[in-house]
Amino acid sequence: MIQLSLIGIGTGNPDHVTGEARSAMNAADLILVPLKGEDKADLAGLRLAICKACVTNPATRIETFELPVRDPATPDYLNRVNDWHDAIAEVWEGCIRAHLAAGGGPRVALLVWGDPSLYDSTLRIADRVGARLPLSLRVIPGITAIQALCAAHAIPLNDLGAPVVITTGRQLRAKGWPEAAGTVVVMLDAGGAFEALPPEGVQIWWGGYVGMAEQILIAGPLAEVAPKIMAARAEARAGHGWIMDVYLMRRGA
């Protein structure tokens, strides 16, 4: 039986890695680190830096692998993502089989940004691998980008007794402000989905590289700060080659 651990590592700051996550990393025989697209050097470098800061067991092997790229030719978004997940599962399976064939131990780990439960597909991909290999799945929770954002701005996630909706930039652009939501948190935004909203009465708290040394924070009335956010985002992306950002909006704040 292969023990696959999906370890939440927070938003890129080694100090956000929990004690449980550190223990799981050191208990692993193999930690797999993906290399992804143009930003692969920086993002893999962050994972490797976390490994360097947290892994003290000399028996733990750390290996990188090339992450498949989504096929832009598939017109339907969900089908495109499902095909991509199938391809990633095949790569995981190949890495694990090669590791075991070389005499490696059965404890394998992957490091997941934030928490594996929140807008991350690692668990879905693990299900695919589990259909092909005998897996025992373990999930170690991590600090989410939402937690880090609220802490950085020193704000509560919700208004008093009010609901919160967590959505994506794609959904916000397509459907607008979620019905009955006083507070909306937006993740996985390719950039500026909030510009599709009527800005009147909306307050926004935005963060890029939240929790990291490069952290950028902007807050204020959406009508006033939206251009500042877009300019800061573009400048940061040009400088680093990639950006991870998240934001919270509230009506009547």
What letter would DSSP give residue 64?
E
Predicted TM-score (pTM) of the model is 0.89
What is the topology classification, in CATH, of domain 2-140? Answer: Cobalt-precorrin-4 Transmethylase; domain 1 (3.40.1010)
CATH number attached to the domain at 145-251: 3.30.950.10
Which DSSP string corresponds to 86-120? HHHHHHHHHHHHHHHHTT--SEEEEEESB-TTSS-
Domain boundaries, the chain: 2-140, 145-251
Query: What are the helix (H) ranges across the chain?
Result: 19-27, 40-54, 77-101, 122-130, 145-153, 169-175, 222-240
Residue 40 pLDDT: 45
Give residue for tokens 């598939």: 74
What's residue 37's pLDDT?
56
Quote the distance between the C-alpha of residue 45 and its chain's center.
15
Q: What is the pLDDT of residue 74?
A: 72
Q: What are the b/e assignments for 86-122, b being 16+ CB within 10 Å?
A: ebbbebbeebbeebbeeeebbbbbbbbbbbbebbbeb
pLDDT by residue, tens only, the chain of 253 residues: 999 999 999 988 899 999 999 999 999 999 999 887 554 456 778 889 999 999 999 999 999 998 888 877 777 888 889 999 999 999 999 999 999 999 999 999 999 999 999 999 999 999 999 999 999 999 999 999 999 999 999 999 999 888 999 999 999 999 999 988 999 999 999 999 999 999 999 999 999 999 998 999 999 999 999 999 999 999 999 998 889 999 999 998 6
Residue 208, Cα to own-chain centre: how many angstroms? Answer: 13
User: What number of residues does the chain have?
Assistant: 253
pLDDT of residue 39: 47
